[in-house]
Amino acid sequence: MGAPGASAVRPKNGPSKEWDKTFPTSPRVRHQKVSFDNRLGINLVADLYIPKRLYSQKAPALVVGHSLGGVKEQTSGLYAQTLAERFITVAWDASYNGESGGTRVPHFIASPEAFVEDFSAAIDYIRLHPKVDRARIGALGICGRGGFAIAATQNDPRIKAVATVSMYDMGRDRRQHLGDTQTDAEHRAELVRLGEQRWAEAAGAPTEYIVGTPQTINEDSPAVAKEFYDYYRTPRGQHPRSTTEMSWNSNGALMQFYPFQNLTWISPRPALFIHGEKADSRYFSEDAYSKASEPKELYLVPGAGHVDLYDQVDLIRWNKLVTFYTDNL
């Protein structure tokens, strides 16, 4: 899915003022560009979505995290805006990615601590909105951010219900690769190479980056590469701030991420795991479901792959999500 040194053009940071999403605006929702700081002092740039018709004085709210290589203008924004017809929602760019983090910190860095913290920071922010019922806040994580949403819910009881869509366990993925194809010997060898690269960068060598989605594909490319390419590298879902690259040395931190270790802590709050029936990543949600305590549900979308649930609105189970959050918030 990419090699060290394969680098995309990194865009200039700074919040955009125009609508630049990969989906159209909804006439039933008000949108506002906002920002807030997390506990680590990183400024997160976000989109706040509010129903134009609020049926009660205080409304439930959702915080929505994007895929690991994505930005809020893509799938998390689509989910946030669509669900904002019933809930107040916020979708943000993760720390060190997209418009978040400013220009004084390195970009395209993966930090599990920061990514989990981002969810709690979004809770901090949205609970202060005068129309939000602070006792009725849920979390939604998509793809890689699903694992971080699960981890955040374990530690933050203010999250009353959590759902994931096409979840990736990024720790397991970096330790064992997709499908658990990397051996222990290969894993140990990569750690040695990562240490050597840290020495090189400390001595002034340029940062090495891994691009999660290739810039080009051919008929011999793996099916999973073709699936991601069709979203991130075509007008369907591409966005200039979504390069899908991360620093190679971020892998060391990601390898230490075990989001399912304390899944039982979520109970008695409910957890919903939604995944495509045909997705290569399906086993991540199945594993999380098996380790979680009740109440929990695993819902497989017939005929859907991993990326289908990013934006294929006819396959996304909107009613399932609305019912889940309505019943539990």
HEC profile of the chain: CCCCCCCCCCCCCCCCCCCCCCCCCCCCEEEEEEEEECCCCCEEEEEEEEECCCCCCCEEEEEEECCCCCCCCCHHHHHHHHHCCCCEEEEECCCCCCCCCCCCCCCCCCCHHHHHHHHHHHHHHHCCCCCEEEEEEEEEEECCHHHHHHHHHHHCCCCCEEEEECCCCHHHHHHHCCCCCCCHHHHHHHHHHHHHHHHHHHCCCCCCEEECCCCCCCCCCCHHHHHHHHHHCCCCCCCCCCCCEEECCHHHHHHCCCCCCCHHHCCCCCEEEEEECCCCCHHHHHHHHHHCCCCEEEEEECCCCCCHHHHCCCCCCHHHHHHHHHHHC
Note the pLDDT of residue 102: 58
pLDDT of residue 16: 64
* Closest C-alpha to 313, from 106, 86, 82: 82
Which tens digit of pLDDT belongs to each residue from 207-227? 999 999 999 999 999 999 999
- What is residue 10's predicted lDDT score, i.e. its pLDDT? 38
pLDDT at 160: 98
| Predicted confidence pLDDT, tens digits, the chain (329 residues) | 333 333 333 344 456 678 999 999 999 999 999 999 999 999 999 999 999 988 668 999 999 999 999 999 999 999 999 999 999 999 999 999 999 995 566 789 999 999 999 999 999 999 999 999 999 999 999 999 999 999 999 999 999 999 999 999 999 999 999 999 999 999 999 999 999 999 999 999 999 999 999 999 999 999 999 999 999 999 999 999 999 999 999 999 999 999 999 999 999 999 999 999 999 999 999 999 999 999 999 999 999 999 999 999 999 999 999 999 999 99
Torsion of CA 1, 101, 14, 170, to 10 degrees: 20
CATH of 29-184+252-328, one of 3.10.20.30, 3.30.360.10, 3.40.50.1820, 3.30.70.260: 3.40.50.1820
What pLDDT is recorded for position 268? 98
